[in-house]
Amino acid sequence: MRPVLEGLCHFESLKDGTLDICDLALMNEALDVRAENKALAMKHKL
């Protein structure tokens, strides 16, 4: 649900099969990378 909550896709796209599990995995990975980069930036900003 993270991609939906983050605005990367619509919930309907998950339900109607427009997006598959690979699409979700890519979006989740991108969200993980973004969160990690943000955490690293904050850590080094001190």
Give pLDDT, residue 45. Answer: 86
Please return the burial class of 3, using the count of CB atoms within 10 Å of its CB with bins 0-12, 13-18 and 19+: buried
Is 10:18 a contact under the CB 8 Å cutoff? no
Mean pLDDT of the chain: 95
46 has pLDDT over 90 = no
| pLDDT tens-place string over residues 16-37 | 999 999 999 999 999 999 999 9
User: Per-domain residue ranges for the chain?
Assistant: 2-45
pLDDT at 39 over 80: yes
Read off the pTM: 0.85
Q: Which two tokens stand for residue 22?
A: 């690979």
Percent of the chain having pLDDT more than 90?
96
